Amino acid sequence: MSNNLKNILAAGVMASALGFAGSAQAADEWGVDATDSEIEFKGTQLGAEFEGEFKAFTATVVFSPDDLAGSSVSVLIDIASVDTQNGDRDSQIVSPDWFDAGQWPTAQFVTKSFSEISPGKYQAVADLTIRDVTREVTLPFDLEITGDKAEAKGEVTIKRTDFGVGQGQWSDTAQVGDDVTIEIDIEADRK
């Protein structure tokens, strides 16, 4: 057997062994505690800040600081669950001019990659889909894992008009600001 063939076979065996060892350190599955978790947002209306939250969402979380490449998060948000403590505003938010919850009842956040910024601090690159528009966002977050419990807190600012939120007269950002800050506080238990 030639030396080149031996080297190729040895490399193949080594790659297989490393692949097998890597799969033994697969990322952990986490169950999100929706009652203790929040997806909130801040915006401005006529120059005054207002806050709201989406009270209903589901999340699939597979994450390990030791296996960022094998980690993934997918969140599905129920748009009709919006609560800004203002009934008129809430009914407008789900209307066709805004989120159009009748046609697009959910927003979705699906990660593409994770990176560690410093110990306990990470960022997720993800596709965020609102209405029928998908844009890539980067969400920095702090993560604390204690035993089988985890808490992640982070925020990202988006432009609502990038997602078609605010049609017609509402595409003008003079009355309702373009910047919306989304804040997450997610608590989860290792499965």
pLDDT the model gives residue 179? 97
d(CA 74, CA 60): 5
- Mean pLDDT over all residues of the chain? 89
What's the rounded mean pLDDT across residues 29-39? 94
pLDDT tens sequence across 167-189: 998 999 999 999 999 999 999 99
pLDDT the model gives residue 3? 43
pLDDT higher than 60, residue 4: no
Distance, first Cα to last Cα, the chain? 49
- For residue 161, CA distances in Å to 22, 57, 75 come to 42, 23, 21
d(CA 159, CA 148): 36
pLDDT higher than 70, residue 8: no
Closest CA relative to residue 89, chosen from 35, 38, 44, 36: 44
d(CA 181, CA 74): 19
* Structural domains of the chain, ranges and CATH numbers in brackets: 27-190 (2.40.128.110)
